[in-house]
Structure 1
Amino acid sequence: MAAAVEESAPKRLKQDTCGGAGGDDGDGETNGGPAILSPVSGFKTERVLRDSARDKTVFVHGKMDEQEAVIILEKTPIRQDTLEEMLKTSTVKLEMKNDIYSTYQLQAPPHLNEIKTTVICPATEKHVKKYLHQETFLIEESGDDYSAITLPYISSQSFSVQWVYNILEKKAEADRIVFEDPDPNVGFVLLPDFKWNQKQLDDLYLIAIVHRRGIKSLRDLTSDDLPLLRNIQKKGLEAVQKHYSIPPSKLRVYLHYQPSYYHLHVHITSLDYEAPGCGVERAHLLSDVIQNLQADSRYYRSRTITFPLRADDALLLKFREAGKL
């Protein structure tokens, strides 16, 4: 969603279908790490913001300990390395049989039937709006529109990126960093996006967050930033190949505009994964960005950029008021 911001780093929790911390082996450890008291057991549902049968995901708004909260429940993909175990150990119930065709309800053991759970608490109104299903509109923003409409709007809002600084300063998620170039000008950290459970490579999703502060988005980039972008392209892809054995030809590397938070970052996903926001109306391939800046230093300062805005986005109202929609 354009102009929406993660105001705090979301808590990550892996859960089983019984509601507790998943895969407890009885010794205080789960299959994925230390057992923890489930923070969602006291969650009181108020409404479903959005759900997707195709993506096996639901976004729920409610309260935890009287605080506003958003919970995202996502069925994790079936993994090839556990497929045989799942087929052998699951219980099945026949639904229909007709000639050579039959369908069943299959109930896998809890440790093979995980639901990835993301908790945002306390959640702000911006978080609730971010996940609420809304009508979407395409905006054509010229360079002048950015200066006159978008930039003043960004400057007037309290879009906190403290959670990003926490990562860069190793105050949070330091153990999740896959690779880091500490150079203050061209360096970055590479870590898994919270959408990826890191158990299979088909939906690999990594984020490269630059160390340098002050670059809000694609619009701020000039040819002076080419060393930074080339460094991410080179060292980021080398790190992915080293850690995950995936060659650059199997990766999609891009920037969002508008970004979901205003600190420059680059998305690296598996080419086999149709990640949210990877469509042409929002994603800009890093290789294209580099070539455009080589040809024109101020390419992204002046060109018209098309991007989607949802009906509840305050920036959309600014474009309406300016007669641009």
Structure 2
Amino acid sequence: MAAASPQRKRRREKEEAGDGAGVADADADAGGGGAFPLAELRVCRLLRESARDKAVFLHGQVNGTCGEVKDAVVILEKTPFQEENISDLLKNHTKLQLQMSNDIYSTYHLYPPPQLSEIKTTVIYPATEKHLQKYLRQEVHLIRETGEDYKNITLPFIQSQSFSIQWVYNILEKKAEADRIIHENPDPCNGFVLIPDFKWNQKQLDDLYLIAISHRREIKSLRDLTSEHLPLLKNILQEGKEAILKRFGVASTQLRIYLHYQPSYYHLHVHFSALSYDAPGISVERAHLLTDVIDNLELDPQYYQKQALTFALRADEPLLKKFQEAGRA
């Protein structure tokens, strides 16, 4: 089985953005013939920055092979510290510059050597207007969706869209990323694969992040779950915890295990992240703990067909417009 390319490994970022533009890590591709020409990027604007995540999102342009101008989104992120490199960082820094000193307190700018100055660089190229809007800072609105809202607004919207999740099927069919699968239960009804999320570089456990992807293809989201799916959900919970403990030594009490609603793609998947990691999407209006989901379905087999669910939508999202047109937002 051929190893998955960096482009395939980043395909889920592409799918979340809504169409088929290519995605790759610039540093991963730098040695290949198709390397993105980062030095030729002309920065047009800063789409967004995150001081908490130490990341910036840039809109840039480069000249294509035929001279045409093409848009790109470039994401620059400071990589996490790795324990084994700390001593080297302190001993071999190129410069330590005093910024402020007051009694027992002082602050410095420390300049690390190049090998310890890595910046994860993600490139979406060529980028569409959808990609630019995805990363642009926008207002966010809370929607409280009833069961009827889902049937009358959300579900018809989902069915009207051409969301491609071929990258999910490629993983399930071992056509891509087979070498990255941590655990698989092959049962077509109650089975799943467990794979590291692309946001985790697998070099430290503080930001551990894996995804369990169901083999069943008809379950789009939390809204489709009934008591029929309890064996599947319990398999994901139990076997996922056991696999992570065996491979990474992280106990279940140190894991946050949850589903998103709304999900970023419409195929049932469950997130496993380190409890210490402030992962994207763990806010109360989006994350639903898997244990709570199981409990709710045991109390009421149709719980998620009836229950009102709250989620956030960005100002440019078409689904928000649908709720506004229906007088529900």
TM-score by length of 1: 0.88
1:12 is aligned to: 25
Q: 2:49 aligned with 1:59, yes or no? A: no
Supply the RMSD in Å over aligned alpha carbons.
Answer: 2.0
The partner residue of 1:207 within 211, 227, 230 is: 211
- CA deviation after TM superposition for structure 1 residue 4, in Å: 5.2
Shift in alpha-carbon separation, 1:67–1:238, aligned structure 2, 3 A: farther
2:82 is aligned to: 79
Relative to structure 2, which stretch is displaced further, 287-296 or 188-197?
188-197
AA in 1 matched with 2:46: V
Deviation sequence 1:248-283 (CA, Å, 0-9, x none): 000000000000011111000000011111011000
1:280 is aligned to: 284
1:217 is aligned to: 221
Distance 1:199 1:163 in 2: 24
Shift in alpha-carbon separation, 1:122–1:228, aligned structure 2, 3 A: farther
Asked if 2 retains the 8 angstrom alpha-carbon contact of 1:7 and 1:161, the reply is no
Q: Which has the higher helix share?
A: 2
Q: 2:306 aligned with 1:314, yes or no? A: no
Asked if 2 retains the 8 angstrom alpha-carbon contact of 1:5 and 1:159, the reply is no
Q: 2:86 aligned with 1:90, yes or no? A: no
Distance 1:115 1:78 in 2: 11
- CA deviation after TM superposition for structure 1 residue 96, in Å: 3.0
Shift in alpha-carbon separation, 1:172–1:69, aligned structure 2, 3 A: farther
Distance 2:191 2:225 in 1: 16
The partner residue of 2:181 within 177, 181, 187 is: 177
**What is the identity percentage for the equivalent residue pairs of Structure 1 and Structure 2?**
60
The partner residue of 1:161 within 161, 165, 170 is: 165
1:195 is paired with a residue of what secondary structure?
coil
2:44 is aligned to: 46
- CA deviation after TM superposition for structure 1 residue 63, in Å: 3.5
Asked if 2 retains the 8 angstrom alpha-carbon contact of 1:139 and 1:307, the reply is yes
AA in 1 matched with 2:209: Y
Structure 2 runs not aligned, ≥5 long: 1-14
Distance 1:273 1:13 in 2: 25
TM-score by length of 2: 0.87
1:199 is paired with a residue of what secondary structure?
coil
Asked if 2 retains the 8 angstrom alpha-carbon contact of 1:43 and 1:62, the reply is yes
The partner residue of 1:235 within 213, 221, 239 is: 239
Asked if 2 retains the 8 angstrom alpha-carbon contact of 1:140 and 1:304, the reply is yes
Distance 2:190 2:18 in 1: 24
Relative to structure 2, which stretch is displaced further, 290-299 or 165-174?
165-174
Shift in alpha-carbon separation, 1:52–1:168, aligned structure 2, 3 A: same
Deviation sequence 1:159-194 (CA, Å, 0-9, x none): 111121122222222222222222211121111111
AA in 2 matched with 1:60: L
Relative to structure 2, which stretch is displaced further, 224-233 or 166-175?
166-175
Deviation sequence 1:28-85 (CA, Å, 0-9, x none): xxxxxxx446424243332221111121011122335344332221101112221111
Shift in alpha-carbon separation, 1:168–1:7, aligned structure 2, 3 A: farther
1:299 is aligned to: 303
1:74 is paired with a residue of what secondary structure?
strand
Number of equivalent positions: 306
2:190 is paired with a residue of what secondary structure?
coil
1:116 is paired with a residue of what secondary structure?
strand
Distance 1:235 1:7 in 2: 33
Distance 2:214 2:124 in 1: 24
Q: Which has the higher contact order (CA 8 A, sep 6+)?
A: 1
Relative to structure 2, which stretch is displaced further, 117-126 or 107-116?
117-126
Structure 1 residue runs of 4 or more that deviate by more than 6 Å after TM superposition: none
